[in-house]
Every structure is written in structure tokens, then in C-alpha cells.
Amino acid sequence: MQKRDEEISAILNAIDGLPEDGEGQESIPEEGLLGELPIAGGEDAGKDLHQMQEDLAADDGQQHSRMRHLSERRGKEKTQSPRRKSRRYESQRQEEMELVDLPDQEEDEERTRRGRRIWRAVKRIYFGFESIIMVAVALVICGYLSWYLLNGMADFLGINQEDQQYEVVLEKDSTVKEVCQTLEDQNIISSPLIFQLYAKLKKVDILPAGTYVVNSNMSFDSVLKRLSTSTEEAPSEAEVTFREGLTVNEIANLLEENDVCDADKFIEALQTEDFGFAFEQLIQPGEHRFYKLEGYLFPDTYNFYVGENPKSAAKRFLTRFNELVFTDKMTAQMEALGMSLDETVILASIIQAEAGGGGYKEMCRVSSVFHNRLNNPDVLGGMLQSDVTIFYVNDNIKPYLNYTDQDMYDAYNTYKCVGLPVGAICNPGLEAIQAALNPEETNYFYFLTDDAGTFYYANTLQEHEYNNYLAQQVNAQLKEQASQEAAASEQAADASTESSESEEDTQAQASSEQ
């Protein structure tokens, strides 16, 4: 293309060099104007140039005639005014450039056509995917609506729902919409919108304040009736007392024995549910921790509903713990000792198990022993060496696992682990927790008890071994005394039997004489 532009420029320059009157102007040879131009490069270059002319003529048969026509128009322009000549020249120049640009225009048109074909293909693909997406979205919406309606119908009729009772407290007269939120939060209903529509059909707008017990397997109609009137018969209640030091397993069994809830479901709720208390976030998860909330079920006397929801039952314990233990005062004491809430509860559970029967004073002394061991790891290697942690593994972990987990056993065994165990071993009372935060100031590193419940404390291992000897003497005496009492009781029983037999014989003899 660049060569062609150069040739045309050479022709135009040759035309501009002709005289104005046309005198002396030679006729243009048949081979074209380029035949009169000086050719550089010799004979070979001339041949190449003539060959180029022939190629140009072959490409476009009309190009030669157009060039001649342009030459004649150039001659006429010599006699025209400069302005008109300029306009004519520009027009001619434009025509020449259009002639040269024909191949470029064809390429542009071809690219345009190709682009249009590609765009049409893209649109077909796009609209095809759009159709697929629309169908998929429609199927998802239909599936969701179907699920919602089926689930709503089951919820409406109370079908396939758990048989669990929940306590619903309305502190003031509430709208159905407000109550719906409470019912949904407590898992009594799962379709609040349908419940609201049903209440509207039943012309129920306001529900009176009061405390109600609602079962999750109730139909919407039954729930509305229960919440609409306070004349419903009160559900059965069970009062259960939980002493200090019980484990999760023992508490669950007590609940089941008193018909409050199933033991396994209670434990499952403890392990999986979120109860919404801030202190839950402070409990260390621990890879080998057996029960997450062991130690946090505050011992007390509680009133439950018969057949109560396990989560509701568990929340009663945690609510009391939150009220009595997780206070600003106790939290400040923990911070002063450099202990976390979880560490405090774990230590208190060991103190409760070791010295709960001795009262608060003994628990504070036992607390001092464990604090001294923790603060002086060079004495016992930082181990607490408490027997009750081994008892917990044997009685509350191994029987409830269907496989062996030695790492978990060792994480609780204070003869194996350094420092505190991975979790609490029982649920301590308030005094044990206070003892953990207020240890007596002593130099004791050892303690033990005899069978009579007497505590022996020692600063050194040698003193501890002597105390152990004394405790064994007491235990032997108690054993001998118990043996003597058993023998005396047996003799008394035998004498009573002989006396009874003698009386019977006497009565029989008297009867026969009569």
C-alpha cells in the first residue's frame, strides 16, 4: 500500500511539472506516465518497476483510465483561479485516496461482518444461559415454596414435632406479632407468618399477660387457646434438689427420674445449644474436654415442669450461675489472682470433690494447698496430684465412651497433666468457688483425710508420710470398731431370733395343754 502511494505521488508531481500552454508536452506513452520517469538502479530496477505497473493494471483495469482522466483535469486547472483550483485539487486528492483505500475499506467491512456474526453468537449463548438460569431460579422458588408450605402445614397441625414443654412468659398484654417472635425463639413454632394469618382469621389480636406452658407438638389452634386464656389447668411440676458436687451425668439422671426430661437429650442440649450467656464465650473449648458445661450447672433446688424441654431445664442452672457467680465482684477477684473464669470453676470443682464435706474452712485450706502447688512447680513438677480427678475419669468418662481415648483420660488425670485439668470434674457450690478465690495463707503442700473425715496437712513430704501413718491407724481402728459393731449386731439379731422361737414354743405348749 505504501508503494502505491509513492507511485501516485510521483505521477502527480510529473503532471504538475508540465507547461501551462501545453507546448512541448509529450504525449503520455501507452505504458503509462511512469515510463517517462527517471529510473534509479539500472536495468533491473526498471524491469521491476514496469512489472509493478503491469501488476497494478491487472488488479484494477480501470485505474489507468482514471489516471489519464486526472491528468487532463490537472491541465485544465492551470487556467482556473487559485481558490477554485485548490478546491478541485482537494476533491481530486480525496478521490485518489478513496481509490487507494478501497482494500482497507473491504477489510473494515469484513471485520464488521465478522464482529456482527460473533455478537449474534454471543447473544444466542447469553439468551440460552439466561433461559437456563430462569428455569433454575423458578425450580428453586417452587421447591422453597413447596417446602415452606409443607413445613408450615406440619407446624400448623403439630405433626412430627417434639413432645417438649416450654414456659412462655408474657410480662404484659402483647400483640400476636410480638408473641410470634417469642414462640419462634423458643422453637415452639417455625412458621410465624402462618401463625399470624391464622390468628387474624380467628380474630385474635392481643394475648393477655401471664405465664403459660406450651408444648411444641401443639397445633396452632391449641397454642392460641392456651395463650388466650389464663384458666387453663396448670401443668404438673417437679421440685428437685441438686446438692453441691454432682456431675453432669448425675444431674441428668435425677431429671429423668423426676420425669422432667430425658437424660440423654439434656446432655445433648448442654453440648450443642447456645444459651445466650456472656460467660459461655469464656469457656475454653479444649480438644479433650468431655462436657463443655461441666462445672457451670449451679447446684440448688429448682422447680421444673414435667416433660419440660431439655434446653429450658438446662437454662435454669445456667441462669442461677450467671446471677450468683458471674458477678462484677467475683470477676474482679479472679483478675486479682490472675485466673480466668474457667480456671476458677475447674479449681473449685476439685476443691468441692476433695473437701466439700469438711465445710468452708477446710475448703479454704485445701485451696491453699493447690495454689501453693500451682505457684511452686518445682515441688511436685506443677502437678496437682488429686485423686478425685482419677475417680472422675473412671466413673464419668470411660463408661460413656464407646472407644478408648487415653489423651482425654490424661488431660483430666492430675497425676499426668501439669497444672489444672482440661475441664471441671463436678459442679461446685458457691462456697467452693469462693474458697478457690480466697485460699488460706499457708505453707502446706500436702493433705489427706482419714475415714472419719479428719484432714491432715503437711509442709513436707516427710510430714505427709507421717500423717498418712496416723490416718491409717485411725482407719484400722474404725474398721475394727465397725467389725465389732457388726458382730454385736449379728449376735443381737441371733438372740432376738432365739427369743422369738422360744416364745413361739411356749405359746404352742400352752395351747396344747389347754
Torsion of CA 15, 19, 25, 30, to 10 degrees: 10
Domain boundary among 192, 207, 235: 235
Report the range of poorest mean pLDDT among 45-59, 171-185, 306-320, 459-473. Answer: 45-59
pTM for the model: 0.61
Same-domain pairing of 243 and 226: no
- pLDDT over 90 percentage in the chain: 44
Same-domain pairing of 264 and 172: no
Report the range of poorest mean pLDDT among 34-43, 49-58, 159-168, 197-206. Answer: 34-43
Domain boundary among 425, 444, 463: 444
- Most confident residue range from 83-87, 414-418, 500-504: 414-418
Same-domain pairing of 225 and 254: no
- pLDDT over 70 percentage in the chain: 69
Give Cα 246 distance to the centre of its chain.
31
Of 221, 166, 169, the C-alpha closest to 195 is 221
Is 505 inside any structural domain?
Answer: no
Higher pLDDT, 298 or 137: 298
Domain boundary among 405, 424, 444: 444
Is 439 inside any structural domain?
Answer: yes
Is 60 inside any structural domain?
Answer: yes
| pLDDT computed for residue 136 by the predictor | 77
Distance CA 178, CA 144 (A): 26
Same-domain pairing of 47 and 95: yes
Same-domain pairing of 283 and 410: yes
| pLDDT computed for residue 113 by the predictor | 80
Beta bridge partners, 446, equal 458
| pLDDT computed for residue 441 by the predictor | 95
Same-domain pairing of 58 and 96: yes
Same-domain pairing of 249 and 330: yes
Is 509 inside any structural domain?
Answer: no
Same-domain pairing of 281 and 362: yes
Whether the per-residue pLDDT at 242 is higher than 80: the answer is yes
Distance CA 394, CA 388 (A): 10
pLDDT band at residue 37 under the 50/70/90 scheme? very low
Higher pLDDT, 25 or 190: 190
pLDDT tens column, 243-279: 999 999 999 999 999 999 999 999 999 999 999 999 9
Same-domain pairing of 230 and 243: no
Residues 178-189: what's their mean pLDDT? 82
Total domain count, the chain = 3
**Domain enclosing residue 184, as ranges:** 165-235
- Most confident residue range from 340-344, 379-383, 486-490: 340-344
The residues near 34 (Cβ < 8 Å, ≥ 6 apart) are: 7, 10, 11, 49, 50, 53
Could you tell me the three cell numbers for 353? 470433690
Could you tell me the three cell numbers for 493? 439379731
Whether the per-residue pLDDT at 181 is higher than 70: the answer is yes
Same-domain pairing of 337 and 415: yes
Q: Give, in degrees to the nearest 5, the angle at Cα 259 between 257 and 260.
A: 110
Is 288 inside any structural domain?
Answer: yes
| pLDDT computed for residue 349 by the predictor | 97
Is 280 inside any structural domain?
Answer: yes
Same-domain pairing of 216 and 256: no
Residue 205: give its domain's CATH number: 3.30.1490
Is 123 inside any structural domain?
Answer: no
pLDDT tens column, 321-335: 999 999 999 999 999
Distance CA 393, CA 353 (A): 13
C-beta separation of 405 from 288 below 8 A: yes
| pLDDT computed for residue 305 by the predictor | 86
